[in-house]
Chain A
Amino acid sequence: MSSVRVLAGTRKGAFVLTSDGARRNWEVAGPHFPGWEVFHVKGSPADPNRIYAAQHTDWFGQVVQRSDDGGRTWNAVGNDFAYEGETGTHLWYDGTPHPWEFKRVWHVEPSPSDPDTVYAGVEDAALFRSTDGGKSWGEVSGLRRHPTGPQWQPGAGGLCLHTVLLAPNDPKRLYTAISAAGAFRSDDAGESWRPVNRGLQSEGFLPEPDAEVGHCVHRLAMHPARPDVLFMQKHWDVMRSDDAGESWREISGNLPSDFGFPVEVHAHEPDTVYVVPIKSDSEHYPPDGRLRVYRSRTGGDEWEALTEGLPQRDCYVNVLRDAMTVDTLDPCGVYFGTTGGQVYVSPDAGDTWMPIVRDLPAVLSVEVQTLP
């Protein structure tokens, strides 16, 4: 019988949550790396026993951990993220030039075909790649060297590269997203990049309506069977592209708020999309104190609230950008974690929800592995 393994990164360690395919009864293991912020934990699609974890504290810096036994034991691998060549500058909050400085890894993205190849999105924004299982890291420097790089300016959360998407139909195509620079695409395995932000509107803080960069993209998602269709949760606005990012249109429709962080796509229905509306950029909690996942079965524009099993009063948690995911069972399971320490699962594509755990440290990321 199939099973699932949920990998939760939290403000004070990582947890591994396991269940059989029914997804009703769960075992909780952890904390791994207690006391450390774990921004992201993700397993290799090519070898589910291979898992990478990004742990960090302001005291001791960055550590990358690797498990080769499905998260039972871990070993630290390489943590030297050296920018390639002359690092140059980006813009600081006050608009002055500021040198690129490595702070932390936000996201790890293992290759779909090679367990030893893994990408890391870091702050200050850059993309790194390892081809030796995380022992050493080299910058994919074409992204940071894009001519717009000196204009990139951090958002409140830092100049972080938080999203890496690898196109399943083309090993040379990669997408990244950076707060608050925007989305970028490479068609040559990372050698060169270009912004793919046409159609994004950021009237509140970008006076130029067609600004090439400067858009606060919070998350990108795609369905592997339809990789040219992208969904985006922007700072404000939920967006869709049908041409691999060449152009975007808004699909916020009837959402109660189009601010939010994660966006995910159903594993078997490319037009079924999930978001978690958050009230505003200054009030990082659900509108009306009601925790609602919104699902569109039409690829956007029309959304339904999913509430059964979720708190519908006095709920003031946030759901961060890497803290939502789906499994590949049928029916599709949907998972998300909150800054209040809950990890919720819906074993029926969002119709009903239940907490797997209620009292973890603030959840920073949630990933799931579907195991045979």
Chain B
Amino acid sequence: MVRVVLPQPLAALARIDREQTVEVQGAATQRAVIDALETAYPVLRGTIRDSATHRRRAYLRFFACGLDLSHEAPDALLPEEVAAGREPFLVVGAMAGG
């Protein structure tokens, strides 16, 4: 089980708490975690990754264990602490005005 913390607007959109636990099929990677999240909450499809390209949306960042994982490959393994559920995978909205 992987813990995921969402930005408040996405939690509000899905009408869920910001921290969620998802069951990941296979290795814990960014792709697997977000796939699981979108399966559990289809309303989040397209809001974290672009629907067509599946690339991370430009104004979102991924963090875990004090590391910026935003530029890691989607299929790279997440830190063991995240895979074991001891640390959350953070989806963070970039600070930008407006």
Contact = CB atoms under 8 A, between A and B. Distances in A.
Nearest to A87: B52
Interface string B19-46: 0000000000000000000000001011
Contacts of A26: none
A60 B93 CA distance: 8
B33 to A, nearest CB: 17
Contact of B46 (A34, A36, A61): A61
B66 interface: no
A63 B58 CA distance: 17
25 contacts: A36-B9, A57-B9, A58-B59, A59-B9, A59-B60, A59-B93, A60-B7, A60-B9, A60-B10, A60-B13, A60-B47, A60-B93, A61-B46, A61-B47, A61-B50, A61-B57, A62-B46, A63-B46, A76-B13, A76-B43, A79-B47, A80-B45, A80-B46, A82-B51, A82-B52
B70 to A, nearest CB: 14
B51 A80 contact: yes
Interface in A193-244: none
Interface of B: 7, 9-10, 12-13, 43, 45-48, 50-52, 57-60, 93-94, 96, 98
Contacts of A36: 9
Q: Chain A: interface secondary structure? A: loop
Interface in A68-113: 76, 79-83, 102
A301 to B, nearest CB: 41
A60 B6 CA distance: 11
Interface of A: 34-36, 57-63, 76, 79-83, 102
B22 to A, nearest CB: 18
Contacts of A76: 13, 43
B51 A59 contact: no
A83 B13 CA distance: 25
Given A59-B60, A61-B50, 8 more contacts: A58-B98, A60-B48, A62-B46, A63-B46, A79-B45, A79-B51, A80-B45, A80-B51
A242 to B, nearest CB: 42
Which of A35, A60, A62, A82 has the most chain B CB atoms closer than 10 A to its own CB?
A60
Nearest to A77: B43
